[in-house]
Amino acid sequence: MKKENTMSRRHFISNTGKAGLATVLTVPALLSMAAEESSFALGGDNNDIGWTQQPLGYDYKAIEPAIDAQTMEIHYTKHAASYAKNLAEAVKAEQVNTSSMRIEQLLQNISKYSAKMRNNAGGHYNHELFWKTLKAPAEGNNVSGKLKDLITRDFGSVEAFKNKFTEEAETRFGSGWAWLIYTRDKKLIVSSTPNQDNPLMSVADVKGLPVLGLDVWEHAYYLKYQNKRPEYINAWWNTINWDYVQKRFAQM
């Protein structure tokens, strides 16, 4: 990348901080920046994941039968709420200025923070995105538009993408997440991360912007599916809120 197109992390944070959280930075502009951790993040109207847990937006039973109400309630009020609470503690202890830094920026430089910050910032961000990408199961619930076109370009077909994503989710050892991500070279790929890591993080093996993520921790499905992770993944495909995912992708 040319020197004149680079920008230091300090300069980037300073500039965005002056404009406040209302500042809209397009992803193409952010993709051109070479910050210390080669950071890039969502811009536009779908940069809607903040530092605190937001209301779920639907009933705990809304995703049934794919995900049962009891699992949704425990997942949201216990697991996800704990990540949000612990993130707030870490932010205070490590003096993070949340009025001038987006959570994506922190994740992109996560190696500079504590293990508590890494685990809980990741856990909070991942779950906030996960809730937004769920809706009541529906027949014919499929991706369309530009996102479908790029999935077909990069995977060969929507079915091939689903097979690849399913395989990644099924074979993620232990706890973690499976992802559809948009990379710096403007390609869609599938990856997975352990624990509460995500592709935004400086420590991720494969980096990119999360388009869609699936929680494959046992707490996300064990009450209904026990050890049958493949059945949970198969049911999840009918619960994706493709309208939200496609609007999110449009900002990339």
CA–CA distance, 150 with 172 (Å, rounded to integer): 25
Whether residues 40 and 100 fall in one domain: no
The residue ranking higher by pLDDT, 139 or 171, is 171
Q: Which of these ranges, 11-25, 85-99, 191-205, has the smallest mean pLDDT?
A: 11-25
Average pLDDT over residues 161-177: 97
Residues 242 and 154 in one domain: yes
Q: How many domains does the chain have?
A: 3
Where in the sequence is the domain holding 101, given as residue range(s)?
60-132
Residues 157 and 246 placed together within one structural domain of the fold: yes
Among 53, 48, 61, smallest CA distance to 77 is for 53
Among 132, 159, 188, the domain boundary falls at 132
Q: Does residue 52 fall inside a structural domain?
A: no
Residues 149, 246, single domain; the answer is: yes
Which among 107, 77, 78 is positioned nearest to 91, based on CA atoms?
107
Q: Taking the complete model, does pTM exceed 0.75, yes or no?
A: yes
Tell me which of 97, 132, 167 is where a domain ends: 132
What mean pLDDT, rounded, does the chain reach? 85
Residue 55 lies in a domain: no
Task: Provide the pLDDT confidence category of residue 19 given band limits of 50, 70 and 90.
Answer: very low
Query: Is residue 138 domain-resident?
Result: no
Looking at 106, 132, 158, which one is the last position of a domain? 132
Give the model's pLDDT for residue 141. Answer: 82
> For residues 154 and 2, which has the higher predicted lDDT (pLDDT)?
154
Residues 244, 149, single domain; the answer is yes
Question: Alpha-carbon distance 165 to 176, whole Å?
Answer: 14
Q: Give pLDDT, residue 38.
A: 44
Domain check: are 74 and 7 in the same one?
A: no
In terms of Cα–Cα distance, which of 114, 124, 189, 113 is closest to 151? Answer: 189
